[in-house]
Structure 1
């Protein structure tokens, strides 16, 4: 019985460690990578022939995060900006196939990934500071 309790405790420690590591990664990289993510996104949008671009000055009070979306059509990587109220604006595709995957993916799946990002407690704390 003691071994089972010890194994369960070890499992919970591992789960907590993984969550803590992922949340701390978001905490540190969201502020550091904003400008490089914007540059990468603008380069990809230009390569795709899009006239849309990300204006860094208008997004100064927002947090930039990469948002992967997995669907039956494939994996798309997007750049999203979250303001202090938790509002996410446009999805900016970071790969050539992302735009096609995003447009063909059901809105319920996209809403799930947005809710997943917004539910991160570390990100919520950072946005509220």
Structure 2
């Protein structure tokens, strides 16, 4: 079973001057983080601006992260969407990219308790 451990870093999503995803800068940043000693990469995590991209863009960001990491550390992909249906569909699609772990945010428009999250 997969065990999360160490320093898992949410990755800022690199954009170009036109606010489009910049895969080259993103890969360079991921390489810098791994060389600095992080134990995991978290694309579209808490600082990855997941809410600002459509699913095609998010898919490309996660795919690029998996390519950049190239098995050196685990990839924790943020796949939470607004609806349960969309989250499940996107998570299943992303799983095939070779990510090690999926991270699904609780609905950000609903207040949930720790017991709700556990259940």
Determine which structure has more spread, i.e. the larger CA radius of gyration.
Answer: 1
Does TM, scored on the shorter chain, surpass 0.5? no
TM (norm. structure 2) is 0.29
Higher helix proportion (structure 1 or 2): 1
TM (norm. structure 1) is 0.27
